[in-house]
Copies of this chain bind each other. A is one copy, B any other.
């Protein structure tokens, strides 16, 4: 049972008890989505509605509500008489999502950019520091969490709400593949550290772009990193999908 981080204490106040119907819904939704994206629920895993209902202390009905929404977002797939199955994602199909994410990342800097004030800069500086101090720990879960948090922060650079929503949707569709691919590799530790350093650099670059108020540049940096990130994932996936395979001569991504 994974620890719950209150990533989005949004609507009311997110206290455990005493919450309206909408609060319950959001809470269950956020929780399940996070679990799916952090691979607490593995792809192709079957979820039982009744189990979830019991865990959250409600009946199946509100749980089904959440499942419908998650299915609409492509993270789940309910089949009558079979079960509710976590979507499996393969690099091939994800190529299209990444293609789109790349373009959208650039748009974040162009479409309705928010005014850059000190508070915003401070938030970037803060997450940059947290990112630096994280590199030492080398915890993939922690990395995924900060990555997620940074995404939300970057996404808040545009005031174009539809763009934010779409980007968020696509992000949650793709973010799983990273953990999935990485965990399959032989050079797990090495690759992980490599990704840490690269991400650290991305955060640093974008933070500085924001400091200068150049959101277009921030968008370009982000675009480049998303594109390169997928290239690394695809290479890694192609060269070492089976971890008990014979070692290939060329070490996949490796540092820089």
Q: A166 is contacted by which of B65, B72, B80, B100 (Cβ under 8 Å)?
A: B100
- Residue contact B107 to A103, C-beta cutoff 8 Å: yes
Interface size on A, residues (CB 8 A): 27
A69 to B170, CA, bound (A): 17
Assess the B160–A96 pair: CB atoms within 8 A: yes
Bound: A25/B162 CA distance, A: 26
Copies in the complex: 2
CB-CB under 8 A for A100 and B162, given A20-B80, A80-B21:
yes
Looking at A20, A68, A107, A161, the one whose CB has the most chain B CB atoms below 10 A away is A68
Interchain CA distance A63-B74 in the complex, whole Å: 20
Contact between B69 and A96, CB atoms less than 8 A apart? no
A residues adjacent to B (C-beta < 8 A) = 20-22, 64-65, 68-69, 72-73, 80, 96-97, 99-100, 103, 107, 111-112, 159-163, 166, 169-170, 173
Provide 8 A-B residue pairs closer than 8 Å at the C-beta atoms, listed in order of the A residue. Answer: A21-B80, A68-B69, A69-B69, A72-B72, A97-B162, A99-B160, A100-B111, A103-B107
